[in-house]
Amino acid sequence: MTSADIAQRHSDWFVGRVAEQCRRDRGRRAALRRGLRRSPEQAHTMHAVVAPLIPAEVSRDREYAYYAVAAMIAAATRDRPETDTSDEAPEEAAVEQAAGPGVDGEAASRPNLGASLAWAVCRPGKGRRAMNRATAEKRLHLLVRQGYPGVYQQLAGVVRHLGAVEVPVSWGQLLDDLCQWRYRRDRVAKQWLQSYYRILHDADRRAEKHHQNLEESA
């Protein structure tokens, strides 16, 4: 197992545990949510949940990523309906929620943020109005230009808009990307942009083909 595989497994484990606590304990969820857009030094209410889940010797930039993602998970978590009797494990639900619609050439299990923004444009949640393409593109380009730690101030708003159109975020992938942001931002930004444009290109191609088929059958 490579170091990247180990990091990925730990990221998925971390977001699963945070999601579990957010679903089971409203008080802890509220404590995490209060840390949104705050640095770890300012997020006093988050330590009881996050500190036991991360190594004591973690670097500051990685620590920032853990705290930011935990706060965004809390902000995105909604109460389950009382009629929901599912006994699915919270961490399993978190993984399922993170899985995207599945697009040619893109891994469905761990989509990056660019992929999620593309889905917000072409495949929003049922009954939700799609995100404007120009708006999504503008937000993505603004986001990838941000340095550390400025990226976190923009990111929370982008994630909130994705939630409004019911497009899932792969929290584990986002955490991995943010852990690299300080020193490998250009590489992560390239991956987000490539995923965004590839998915929209494929969606446009399918829509054009569908339109042609309708014309031919008319």
- The CA distance from 86 to 95, in Å, is 15
Considering Cα of 128, then 132, then 136, then 139, what sign does the dihedral take? negative
Instruction: Give the C-alpha distances (Å, rounded to integers) separating 51 from 26, 39, 57, 195.
Output: 18, 14, 11, 33
- CB 101, CB 123: distance < 8 Å: yes
Is the pLDDT at 218 greater than 90? The verdict is no
Question: Other CB atoms closer than 10 Å to residue 144's CB: what's the count?
Answer: 21
pLDDT surpasses 90 at 94: no
CATH of the domain at 103: 1.10.520.40
At 112-129, the pLDDT tens digits run 999 999 999 999 998 999
Task: Give me 208's structure tokens.
Answer: 């054009």
- Considering its fold, how many domains does the chain have in total? 1
Q: Residues 145-160: what's their mean pLDDT?
A: 95
Radius of gyration over every alpha carbon of the chain, rounded to an integer in angstroms: 18
Distance (Å, whole) CA 67 – CA 46: 8
The pTM of this model reads 0.86
Q: Is 90 exceeded by the pLDDT of residue 81?
A: no
Tell how far CA 34 is from the center of its chain: 18
Q: Which sign, positive or negative, has the C-alpha torsion 50, 41, 3, 111?
A: positive
User: Is residue 193 helix, strand or coil?
Assistant: helix
Residue 155: name the closest of 121, 114, 183 by CA: 114
d(CA 28, CA 48): 8
Top-confidence residue, 102 or 39: 39
Domain that holds residue 111: 3-80+88-217
Is residue 80 scored above 80 in pLDDT?
A: no
The string of DSSP codes covering 96-159 is: HHH-----TTS-SSS--HHHHHHHHHHSPPTTPPPPPHHHHHHHHHHHHT--TTTHHHHHHHHH
pLDDT single digits (tens) 166-208? 999 999 999 999 999 999 999 999 999 999 999 999 999 988 8
